[in-house]
């Protein structure tokens, strides 16, 4: 049996399903390229048949990613599989992942079919997918609650039909490690053709056991783990990629197993996904949490100073964290910024140096000192700028106080025109938002979520605002970053407005195509 464990990342499919607003094609591609750089084996890019946007995202990722297998999900239906084949056909290598539920409760309640009919549908789906590619994966949805005799029958039938990978999902996070490991062990003992396929596992975290269950399955012979960055996903989430990868790396003497994950990229990828998905990482999260390498106890601090491995089983550097936070000032030149970004793991192709440097100087004039975390934040937000933004901020002034009615004046560049308006509100951010809404004369936008956070430490931290807005029955996510909370909030709203404008343009193009105008 091979000692390589494949990492199948489903951040863009299962992970995205749990987000407050859908990611744009550009954002999904950015995550996919980061996953490719991280070294994942398979990227599940989406569910092509579910919407035109998902089809476009999967196709774009399939076209751009070269060093990982791009995968699309489908139900055991011909139309779903055809959509996958069409979206993925532009890729050099791709996988079709088809599934059907197998547990009694799903078969009788949801599908309302007999077990024989489910086997027939599974076999037909795998054979149909093989018309597009030899790399076909089949999943037994809710395998954790499927009777073992029927599960063995399904796995054997799927492999005979041509599935090269068979996935055993604990879809609802119901099983315990001993139980789930036992299921995998029985499959290896009872399915006669199991050596002809890779056994994969996809565990959910409803009982907090997704990583433990995945590890138990690997111990029993599973050689693919399906997971997400930061463990995001439906309900309580999925198996955390960074945790399973670092367990196998840190405890290599116990397991003797390898993955292709470049662990130094973990921290950077975690931050990117957290930012784009508006899903903060809890401070005590293993591997990537803010406290993962922090020591507060005096005894612990003393021990680490005397020997790092007294209280750290892995180094911050091993997951891409740099302990030395270099402070920069407005006197620092371009070459220093370029060097520092290189030290932080960014290539020249990852950013526009002139744009980053201009943003750096503006921030340095406001803060005095700029730290590594500031520089990474600037890089991230420069990457998020719209290449042809329809809306941009020209001027902002806001005032508030104990006995003053909060007010704001905003000037927006709208295409080639600049429009200014003033308004009041129940606070300076609300006043600025009211001014913007009057400028754009749009009453269908509803802000349904507003979160304020910070990037950095102490009083000089950058304010980050994350909002979700509802517009024409769709949700749009926006983020803004600035030293001033009001400015950060305004930038987040402008980010949303540009996404809305782009969505309207796409809808108009589709309308023209459908009507032939």
Look up residue 270 and give its two tokens: 């975690």
What's the pLDDT at 324?
Answer: 46
**For the packed helices 115-129 and 148-161, what is the interaxial angle rounded to 10 degrees?**
30
3-state secondary structure 128-165: HHCCCCCCEEEEEECHHHCCHHHHHHHHHHHHHHCCCE
Q: What percent of the chain shows pLDDT beyond 70?
A: 90
What tokens were used for 145?
């609650």
Domains and CATH numbers, the chain: 6-277 (3.20.20.70), 334-383 (no CATH), 391-508 (3.30.160.270)
- Helices and strands (DSSP H and E) totals, the chain: 17, 14
CA dist., res. 125 & res. 497, Å (int): 42
> If you average pLDDT over residues 59-78, what whole number do you get?
97
**Is a pLDDT exceeding 60 seen at residue 388?**
no
Higher confidence at residue 469 or residue 160? 160
CB 256 within 8 A of CB 230: no
Is pLDDT of 87 > 80?
yes
Across the range 135-159, mean pLDDT stands at 97
pLDDT for the residue 298:
52
If pLDDT is split at 50, 70 and 90, which confidence band does 381 have? low
What per-residue confidence (pLDDT) applies to 351?
A: 82
Model confidence at 62: pLDDT above 50: yes
Confidence of residue 158 (pLDDT cuts 50, 70, 90): very high
Q: How confident is the model at residue 304 (pLDDT cuts 50, 70, 90)?
A: very low
What local confidence, expressed as pLDDT, does residue 506 receive? 62
- pLDDT > 80? residue 241: yes
pLDDT at 143: 97
> How confident is the model over 77-87, as a mean pLDDT?
97
Any idea which of 37-51, 97-111, 224-238 has the lowest mean pLDDT?
A: 97-111
Question: Cα(253)–Cα(107) distance, rounded to whole angstroms?
Answer: 42
Residue 301 pLDDT > 60, yes or no? no
- For 431-445, what is each residue's pLDDT tens digit? 999 999 999 988 789
The residue ranges of DSSP E strands in 305-461, in sequence order, are 391-401, 404-414, 417-424, 446-455
Average pLDDT score, the chain:
89
Comparing 132 with 21, the larger pLDDT belongs to 132
**Residue 327 pLDDT > 80, yes or no?**
no
Residue 297 has pLDDT above 70, yes or no: no
Phi/psi at 142 (nearest 5 deg)? 60, 35
């Amino acid at each position: 049996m091979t000692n390589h464990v494949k990492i199948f990342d489903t951040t863009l499919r299962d992970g995205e399903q749990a987000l407050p607003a859908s990611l744009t094609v550009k954002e999904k591609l950015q995550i996919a390229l980061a996953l490719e750089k991280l070294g994942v084996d398979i990227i599940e890019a989406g569910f092509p048949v579910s919407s035109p946007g998902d089809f476009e995202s999967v196709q774009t990722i399939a076209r751009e990613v070269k060093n990982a297998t791009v995968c699309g999900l489908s139900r055991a239906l011909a139309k779903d599989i055809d959509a996958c084949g069409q979206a993925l056909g532009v890729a050099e290598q791709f996988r079709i992942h088809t599934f059907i539920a197998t547990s009694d409760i799903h078969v009788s309640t949801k599908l309302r079919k007999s077990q024989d009919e489910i086997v027939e549908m599974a076999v037909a789906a795998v054979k149909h997918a093989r018309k597009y590619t030899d790399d076909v994966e089949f999943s037994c949805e809710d395998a954790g609650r499927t009777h073992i005799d029927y599960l063995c029958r399904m796995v054997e039938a799927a492999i005979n039909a041509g599935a090269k990978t068979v996935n055993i999902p604990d879809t609802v996070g119901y099983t315990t490690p001993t139980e789930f490991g036992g299921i995998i062990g029985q499959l290896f003992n009872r399915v006669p053709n199991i050596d002809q396929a890779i056994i994969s596992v996809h565990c959910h975290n409803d009982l907090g056991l997704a990583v433990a269950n995945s590890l138990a399955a690997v111990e029993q012979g599973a050689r693919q783990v399906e997971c997400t960055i930061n463990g995001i996903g439906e309900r309580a989430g999925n198996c955390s990629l960074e945790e399973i990868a670092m367990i196998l790396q840190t405890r290599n003497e116990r397991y003797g197993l390898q993955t292709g994950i470049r662990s130094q990229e973990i921290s950077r990828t975690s931050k990117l996904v957290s930012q784009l998905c508006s899903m903060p990482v809890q401070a005590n999260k293993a591997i990537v949490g803010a406290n993962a390498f922090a020591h507060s106890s005096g005894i612990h601090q003393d021990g680490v100073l005397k020997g790092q491995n007294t209280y750290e089983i892995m180094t911050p550097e091993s997951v891409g964290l740099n302990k030395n936070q270099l402070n920069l000032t407005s006197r620092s030149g371009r070459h220093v910024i370029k060097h520092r970004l290189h030290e932080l793991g960014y290539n020249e192709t990852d950013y526009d140096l002139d744009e980053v440097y201009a943003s750096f100087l503006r921030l340095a004039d406001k803060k005095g000192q700029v730290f590594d975390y500031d520089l990474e934040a600037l890089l991230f937000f420069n990457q998020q700028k719209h290449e042809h933004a329809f809306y941009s901020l020209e001027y902002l002034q806001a005032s508030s106080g104990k006995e003053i009615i909060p007010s704001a004046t905003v000037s927006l560049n709208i295409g080639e025109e600049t429009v200014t308006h003033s308004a009041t509100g129940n606070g300076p951010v609300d006043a600025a938002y009211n001014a913007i809404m009057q400028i754009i004369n749009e009453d269908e936008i509803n802000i349904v979520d507003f979160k304020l956070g910070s990037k950095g430490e102490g009083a000089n931290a950058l304010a980050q605002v994350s909002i979700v807005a509802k517009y024409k029955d769709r949700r749009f996510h926006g983020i803004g970053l600035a030293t001033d909370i009001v400015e950060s909030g305004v930038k987040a709203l402008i980010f949303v407005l540009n996404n809305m404008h782009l969505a309207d343009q796409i809808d108009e193009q589709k309308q023209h195509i459908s009507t032939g105008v």
